[in-house]
Every structure is written in structure tokens, then in C-alpha cells.
Amino acid sequence: MTSTIETSTTTREVHVAVVGSGFAGLGMAIQLRKQGIEDFVVLERGDDVGGTWRDNTYPGAACDVQSNLYSFSFAPNPDWPRTYSEQPEIYAYLRGVAARFEVLDRHVFGAEVTAATWDDAAHRWDVETTAGNFRAKVLVSAAGALADPSYPDIPGIESFGGTVMHSARWDHEHDLAGDRVAVIGTGASAIQVVPAIQPVAGSVAVYQRTPPWVIPRGDRPTTAAERSIYRRFPAVQKAVRGALYAGREFLVFGMAKNRRFLAPVQKLARTHLERQVRDPQLRAQVTPDYTIGCKRILISNDWYPAISAPNAEVVTAGIAEIRPHSVVTRDGVERPTDTLVLATGFHVTDLPIAHRIAGRDGRTLAQVWEEGMVTNRGSAVAGFPNLFLLVGPNVGVGHTSMVYMIESQVAYVGRALQAMADEGLATLETTPAAQDAYRELIAERSQGTVWLGGGCGSWYLDRHGHNTTLWPDFTFLFRRLTRTLDRENYVGTTERRPAE
Ligand code: N01
């Protein structure tokens, strides 16, 4: 897509700079327009909007939340072709939303933020990007938690002579026909990509470290009748959305409140596995030994059939090293390999953007978060005035639509901006006390959850074993918490301090 904003070597002054244009960045841009804030830019490192839905183009990429729910509440799409959309439809939806709500002219593409530094004398953020410098009163980071691929640190991987691709950076030029493919990882990406490539590849070896729990996927094409009903009676689609939301919300009850509720879900997953995997050895290999929900519950009807195919195998021995044309496991077996597919996830608890944003005392978010990520409502950090985070720590959800959380946060940030305007504030900054209280709230709500006590390791937890990723309660409680600005948790300054 093209941007109408000219970039130059001079620094451009704006009221608000938003980093990233996935669901969160677009939602924020639309909110700004809605509030009458026209002086903003969206700094996007890619060449189009869409975020993770622009980048994850691997074969089989799709969403595991129904589209009626995984979409903006203010922009329903009656024409979803399937109940669970595939990547091209979601990407097209986001492009359509950006065009319809007229925020494209505020985008600067190819603008990767390399540094954002708070200038305490001027009360401005100095933002350096690969497409020029910006100076913003307010910085909103919507850079995303599933944005930066994580590459495994396996001995010898750099010596591999064949094609290497991360699931989030698919090489569409490479034809997998007949290839001996090694797939590393068995997360949400792997269980989609393997069924898509197994029929064309010569062979597929899936290197599994931890087996996932998988439940059936109730996906189907939508009918012309339901699309027509949604078009004519938007209230019906809204009601369906509400029902889907309520159903999924109930799942968190078993993860965070009463784990006994997870037993029937685990039974469903076990039955699904036993129905689809007949070979007892493979069954044993792919049966998880932790409570369902501890890691993200995956949904698929074609994962088990794909790994049961004659040209597929699941390797559990652990990878010892990678050689130029093979993968060697710890049991000494060497498997000749033409292509490596790294379905190894993202930097979630170690966000690259956190190393680039430096607050009042010069320390970066990453440095301040050395002992754990602390925020107020996942949205603001003490020492970082006029900075707001979208999809920040403890805003993630595994059981329902992230878009619901994003909309809650976007509205919250909108209220903060409104308060700044109403009160004539130069800065607005949350307090350490608010962060401490919020950390306690998260810790208290995380207690007893399956994420901490389910017997698995996951990227939901940081290296200290704290839940820093997931919102540990019903999502409507997060919305309630962000419905108004907790002004008492913020300090505002109206006067500019003299430059030091
Ligand atoms: O990444 P993951 P993902 N050696 O981190 C393994 C969203 N999403 O891209 O479990 C060997 O979940 C790792 O093993 P283990 C969704 O939020 C959604 O699949 O840590 N293996 C794991 O199996 C999802 O949760 C959709 O033991 C290594 C895998 O790689 C999130 O994105 C689709 C390894 C990584 O799994 C991330 O999913 C896709 C190593 N060194 C993604 N390092 C839908 O909506 C990692 N692994 C459907």
C-alpha cells in the first residue's frame, strides 16, 4: 500500500505516534480519528497494514477463533466465507478496515522504530525510524507480541545448507514438492502448516519437544443464507458474536477459577486423539502429560491424520545438532533433510521493542522490566510518561479473541488522551504504587490457574515463572477495569520544566 505522508531527513512533529498497524495499531488509529485527533502517524515497518496477519502466510495459516468474534465490534463482516477464517481473508479484512475508516493516509510504511527516547525537558518522545525521525507528544506501542519470530539456538543450525524458513517468514518461492522436510515445533503454527505441506513433501519429520492438547475444529463454509441474514439483519450477527464470546469466556472459568471444569475438555481432546491416532506408539508419543489449558489449547481436524501419514513421523528424541544436510537427534539418529521449517514461535516475554524505548532515566523498558514486566493495566509504565502500550504484559488471552482485549485497551488509551486534552496536561504518567497494586492483582488472580500449576512450561510465564503474558481472569473484568481512566493512578504535569 502507498502512504501519502512524505518522509524526509527533517524531524516531523506529531501529536501521537502509533507503532505498528496490526489489529491494535489500526484500532488505535481509528479511535484517534473518532476522537478528532488528526495529528498522528502510524509507523509500520512492513509495507502494508495487517501485522501478524500480513506476515504469517505459511500454508494452512488460519485463526482458531471464529471470525464473527475475531473482528472489530464496530466493523462486522457479514461476508466471512468460513466460520474460522484463513489468513488471506483476515488480512483482506484488515486492509478493508484501514481503507474504510480512512487511516491509510496517516501511515508511514517501511518505518521500523529503532529507538524512542523520552525528552524530559521538552515533554516529547524522539522516535527514530528507518524512514526518518519523528517527535511525538504521545507514543503508543502497538508493536504486537507475536511479531518477532524466535529462532531456535540449536548447535549447527547456521551451517544448514538447504532452505530454512520460519513459519512467520514463509518462503513462497521455494517448492517443497518431494523435499525431506524437518518441522521444529508443535504449537499453533506447526499444527496448521504440517497438514498443508505433508501431502506435497517427500517426507515430513516433526520434531516435538512437548505434545499439544488438540480439540476438534468446528470449521465450515458459511452459507449464502447466513451471509444474507447477517447483511440484512446486523443484530443477528451481533447476537451470534455475543453467544460465541460467552461460550469461550466460560472456558477461562476452568483455567483460572475451577480447574475441575477442564476435565471434560481434556476428555474431549483425549477422545479426539484416540479416534484419529490408531498407532499405539504414535499415540503414546503425542499424548501430553500436563493438564489441558496449561499451554494454548489447539484446534485441528487434520493434525493427527497428517502426522499419521506414511511419509510423516514424529521425532521426540530431542535435537542434538543440525548439519549441512541433516538433523541429528540425541539418540544418534541422523535424518537427511532438504528443508527446515522453524515453527518455533515468537519473542513474547522478551519483546524487541522493549529494548528500544527508553524512559525518563534513560533506561529501556527491557531494563526496567529486568525483574519482571510491570505495568498499570497492561497499558502504562512508571518512568515512561505519555507512553501507552497495546497488547502489553498480561493482556494476552488464549481462550478467546484478542480483538476484545485490544478494543478495551484502545478505548482506555483514548480516555487517557482525552484527560490530557481536558486538563491541558503536558504529561501523564502512571505511578509505581499503581503498578505494584496491579502486579499484586495479576499475581493473586494467577494463583491456582492451570497456567501456573498445570505441569508444563510455556511462554505465558517469564523466566521467573511469573505469568506476564495472560490476563488471568474473565475478559469482561478487564473491560470493566479499563472502562474509565483510573486518573488517581496517574500524575499529570501541566507546566513545562525548564531545560536542564
Ligand atoms: O509458537 P509457540 P506458534 N527446539 O511458541 C517449539 C498464535 N497463533 O507460532 O512447547 C525444539 O506456541 C515449542 O516447544 P515447547 C497463538 O497465540 C495462532 O506455534 O516450548 N522445539 C513449541 O512446540 C499461538 O499460541 C494461530 O516445548 C522448540 C513450538 O516450537 C502463538 O501464535 C496460529 C524450540 C513453538 O510454539 C504462537 O504459536 C498460529 C527448540 N529450540 C499462531 N523452540 C491461530 O489462531 C521452540 N520450540 C490458529
Q: How far apart are CA 40 and CA 49, in angstroms?
A: 16
Grid coordinates 529494548 are at which residue?
355
pLDDT of residue 283: 98
Spacing, Cα 458 to ligand 1 middle (Å): 9
Pocket of ligand 1 contains residue 345 by CB under 6 Å: yes
Q: What is the DSSP letter of 254?
A: I
Element holding 276 (H helix, E strand): helix 262-276
Pocket of ligand 1 contains residue 149 by CB under 6 Å: no
Pocket of ligand 1 contains residue 454 by CB under 6 Å: no
Nearest protein CA to atom 37 of ligand 1, as residue: 345
Spacing, Cα 280 to ligand 1 middle (Å): 25
Spacing, Cα 169 to ligand 1 middle (Å): 14
Give the contacts of 87 (CB within 8 A, at least 6 positions apart): 53, 56, 57, 61, 62, 63
Q: How far apart are CA 354 and CA 141, in angstroms?
A: 10
Spacing, Cα 372 to ligand 1 middle (Å): 22
Contact criterion met (CB below 8 Å) for 31 and 103: no
Spacing, Cα 344 to ligand 1 middle (Å): 5
pLDDT above 60: residue 473: yes
Pocket of ligand 1 contains residue 184 by CB under 6 Å: yes
Spacing, Cα 189 to ligand 1 middle (Å): 6
Return the biggest CA–CA distance within the chain: 74
Spacing, Cα 185 to ligand 1 middle (Å): 6
Spacing, Cα 295 to ligand 1 middle (Å): 10
Pocket of ligand 1 contains residue 144 by CB under 6 Å: no
Grid coordinates 486538563 are at which residue?
423
pLDDT in tens, 22-64: 999 999 999 999 999 999 999 999 999 999 999 999 999 999 9
Give 259's pLDDT tier (boundaries 50, 70, 90).
confident
CA torsion angle 328 287 463 260 (round to 10): 180
Nearest protein CA to atom 6 of ligand 1, as residue: 185
Contact criterion met (CB below 8 Å) for 197 and 178: no
Spacing, Cα 346 to ligand 1 middle (Å): 8
Q: Cβ of 74: how many Cβ atoms within 10 Å? A: 12
Strand partners, 329: 319
Higher pLDDT: 3 or 457? It is 457
Residue whose CB lies within 8 A of the most ligand 1 atoms, among 146, 300, 314, for a mutation test = 146
Residue whose CB lies within 8 A of the most ligand 1 atoms, among 55, 67, 158, 186, for a mutation test = 186
Pocket of ligand 1 contains residue 189 by CB under 6 Å: yes
Q: What mean pLDDT value characterizes the chain?
A: 95
* Whether ipTM exceeds 0.90: yes
> Among 470, 497, 54, 454, which residue's Cα sits nearest to residue 266?
454
pLDDT of residue 500: 43
Spacing, Cα 322 to ligand 1 middle (Å): 20
Pocket of ligand 1 contains residue 109 by CB under 6 Å: no
Nearest protein CA to atom 3 of ligand 1, as residue: 345
Nearest protein CA to atom 46 of ligand 1, as residue: 344
Pocket of ligand 1 contains residue 300 by CB under 6 Å: no
Give 496's pLDDT tier (boundaries 50, 70, 90).
low
pLDDT above 90: residue 490: yes
Please, what are the domains in the chain?
Answer: 12-148+347-494 (3.50.50.60), 157-220+230-342 (3.50.50.60)
pLDDT of residue 8: 53
pLDDT in tens, 72-122: 999 999 999 999 999 999 999 999 999 999 999 999 999 999 999 999 999
Q: How far apart are CA 226 and CA 228, in angstroms?
A: 5
Q: What does the pLDDT average to over 212-240?
A: 97
- 150-159's contacts with Cβ under 8 Å and 24+ in sequence apart are 150/344, 150/345, 150/346, 150/347, 151/342, 151/344, 152/184, 152/342, 152/344, 154/184, 154/319, 154/321, 154/322, 155/320, 155/321, 155/322, 156/321, 156/322, 156/323, 157/322, 157/340, 159/322, 159/323, 159/324
Q: What does the pLDDT average to over 115-142?
A: 98
Q: How far apart are CA 197 and CA 58, in angstroms?
A: 10
Spacing, Cα 188 to ligand 1 middle (Å): 6
Give 197's pLDDT tier (boundaries 50, 70, 90).
very high
